[in-house]
């Protein structure tokens, strides 16, 4: 009997110790969101832009960590180009993108000690005017990071007043991985002169550079939307995760949100069309649309294009910040 009691006590003790060790090793909400957040830098022909992105990590068939990054389409639209080709005697438009750069800051003992910069390829793109303002990237280097974001894929929409966190590159790389808080302030904003899809509204503090950054439930760090536009630092619009689901389900890429679904092979990834929807003729009045854009500008940081050969990060001088719809 004593032996049985001792064995049971030992099992309970070991189980408690294992759980305690697991909890001790688990990163805090703040650390986790820092680990999955990056700056997106787009060096176009006429301008350089900086926004934010969030990492979603999957394992391929060989066991490598493949890092995908969700960001806003307008953060990388200055990298987009088209060309005409002949296919069986008919003209076809080919959409191509230059590689954006993924920048991750490294911190140690309370200070920034360096940064990692990786090229990424654009896998999917849905434009801001007629689509969902979403872009899915893949970091070209395997095993870049191990951390991954968790998306809020439940049917229930978080209630108004729910506490939220935002992590983004406020004012660009100089404000990389800034964390702010706020609340869910409204559901289902429909601004027809701006976009035919719904936005949700939050009060998390955001500045140019926040575009593409994640907004999360404070309670469990689940991603509930992507910050894209703002009318002031505490009045901003997000692409809600339910809208991202709609886009992913329609184009059969739910594996880029749901880790339980199988990841496609490399061959299947190469077959993915970058764009689906053609640019539709818009019904809204041009003046009305321009007013809407001024009221709710993109939260992207734009820098002038330099041609003097300065290294990438030295190009960013003390420039006045601004937001731009087209660059």
Q: What per-residue confidence (pLDDT) applies to 297? A: 86
Q: What per-residue confidence (pLDDT) applies to 324? A: 43
Q: What per-residue confidence (pLDDT) applies to 285? A: 60
Q: What per-residue confidence (pLDDT) applies to 89? A: 77
Annotated domain spans of the chain: 29-301
Q: What per-residue confidence (pLDDT) applies to 90? A: 81
Domain 29-301 carries which CATH code?
A: 2.40.10.120
Q: What per-residue confidence (pLDDT) applies to 283? A: 53
CA dihedral 307, 313, 317, 319 (to 10 degrees): 90
What would the pLDDT profile of 177-194 be if each residue is shown by its tens digit? Answer: 999 999 999 999 988 777
Distance CA 56, CA 226 (A): 14
Q: What per-residue confidence (pLDDT) applies to 323? A: 44
Distance CA 44, CA 99 (A): 10
Q: What per-residue confidence (pLDDT) applies to 39? A: 97
Q: What is the pTM of this model?
A: 0.84
Per-10-residue mean pLDDT, the chain, length 327: 48 46 67 96 87 97 96 95 82 88 91 93 93 96 96 95 97 94 95 86 96 97 96 91 96 97 94 74 64 83 66 42 43
Cα dist. 152→135, 177, 188, 260 in Å?
A: 18, 21, 17, 13
What would the pLDDT profile of 75-123 be if each residue is shown by its tens digit? Answer: 999 999 888 887 787 888 888 899 999 999 988 888 889 999 999 999 9
The contacts of residue 79 (CB under 8 Å, 6+ apart) are 42, 43, 44, 97, 98, 99, 100, 122
């Amino acid at each position: 009997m004593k032996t049985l009691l001792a064995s049971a006590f030992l099992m309970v003790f070991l189980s408690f110790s294992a759980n305690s060790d697991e909890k001790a090793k688990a990163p805090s909400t703040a650390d986790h969101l820092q680990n999955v957040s990056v700056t997106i830098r787009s060096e176009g022909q006429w301008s350089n832009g900086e926004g934010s992105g969030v990492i979603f990590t999957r394992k391929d068939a060989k066991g490598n960590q493949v890092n995908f990054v969700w960001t806003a389409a307008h953060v990388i639209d200055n990298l987009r180009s088209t060309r005409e080709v002949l296919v069986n005697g008919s003209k076809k438009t080919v959409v191509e993108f230059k590689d954006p750069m993924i920048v991750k800051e490294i911190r140690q003992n309370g200070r920034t000690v360096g940064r990692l910069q990786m090229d990424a390829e654009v896998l999917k793109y849905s434009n801001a005017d007629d689509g969902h303002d979403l872009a899915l990237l893949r970091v070209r280097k395997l095993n870049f990071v191990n951390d991954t974001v968790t998306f809020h894929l439940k049917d229930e929409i978080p209630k108004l007043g729910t506490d939220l966190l935002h992590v983004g590159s406020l004012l660009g790389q100089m404000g990389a991985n800034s964390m702010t808080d706020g609340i869910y302030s409204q559901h289902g904003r429909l601004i027809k002169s701006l976009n035919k899809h719904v936005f949700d509204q939050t009060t998390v503090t955001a500045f140019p550079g926040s575009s593409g950054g994640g907004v999360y439930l404070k309670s469990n760090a689940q991603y509930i939307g992507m910050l894209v536009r703002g009318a002031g630092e505490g009045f901003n619009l997000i692409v809600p995760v339910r809208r991202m689901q709609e886009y992913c389900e329609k184009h059969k890429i739910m594996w880029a949100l749901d880790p339980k679904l199988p990841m496609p092979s490399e061959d299947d990834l190469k077959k993915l069309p970058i764009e689906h929807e053609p640019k539709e003729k818009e019904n809204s009045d041009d003046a009305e649309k321009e007013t809407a854009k001024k009221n709710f500008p993109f939260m992207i940081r734009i820098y002038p294009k330099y041609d003097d050969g300065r290294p990438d990060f030295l190009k960013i001088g003390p420039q006045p910040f601004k937001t731009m719809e087209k660059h």
